[in-house]
Amino acid sequence: MSKSNLNKQDKLKISQLLSDLQSKDELKIAGAIKAFAVHGHASIIEPIMEVWRSGLSSENEALVMDLFQSLKDTPSIEPLIEAFKNSLNAHLRRKLVTTFWNSKLDFSDYLADFVLFGIEGDFLDALEAITLIENFETVAPESAILESQLLLTEYFGQTEHRDDQKDAILTDLALLLKDFSELDGMEDLFLE
């Protein structure tokens, strides 16, 4: 993606691509998604999410996931996380997590959001969350680790409606967080 300070020609190109994206024509949509890899910037994430939320062909959905995985600019992180947190995109969260762990962007600041996703979701959501977290290239901030440990402590304090497979994944996640906290030199708050 290009720099965020766009010239008039780039703005016109993006405007045309956004129009194509919302056209309901699968070929125009595919062309727009491919072109965003060259001409886009962080502002295109929400319009793409809007179209994705409304339904895309499996081919165009794959193009969106490829586009999001190819993002390299740090300003893209915040709109991607906003899309992840947006309840309107709940049915796309697992796919977003997959794109996050296949991207080169650093999502470690949002550790607690991914832990919560694993806790609130099913076994597969927990699996996606731990896969993403295991692939962080940097250690998450201490505050995110502590918040995540507290979320897991609260989860394991409940006794109702538990899933053994999910519990096993979340136990592994708790051990991973313990490793993170030791790397960061903090005390572990997770109570077994």
Q: Whose structure tokens read 């290009």?
A: 2
Using an 8 Å Cβ cutoff, are 58 and 25 in contact? no
Q: What angle do CA 125, 78, 122 make, to 5 degrees?
A: 10
How far apart (Å, rounded) are the C-alpha atoms in residues 77 and 36?
Answer: 16
Domains in the chain: boundaries:
1-105, 107-192
pLDDT in tens, the chain (192 residues): 444 456 777 677 778 888 888 888 889 989 988 888 876 678 889 989 998 998 888 999 999 999 999 888 888 999 999 999 999 999 999 999 999 988 889 999 999 999 999 999 999 999 999 999 998 888 888 999 999 999 999 999 886 767 889 999 999 999 999 888 776 555 444 444
pLDDT at position 5, please? 57
pLDDT at position 18, please? 82
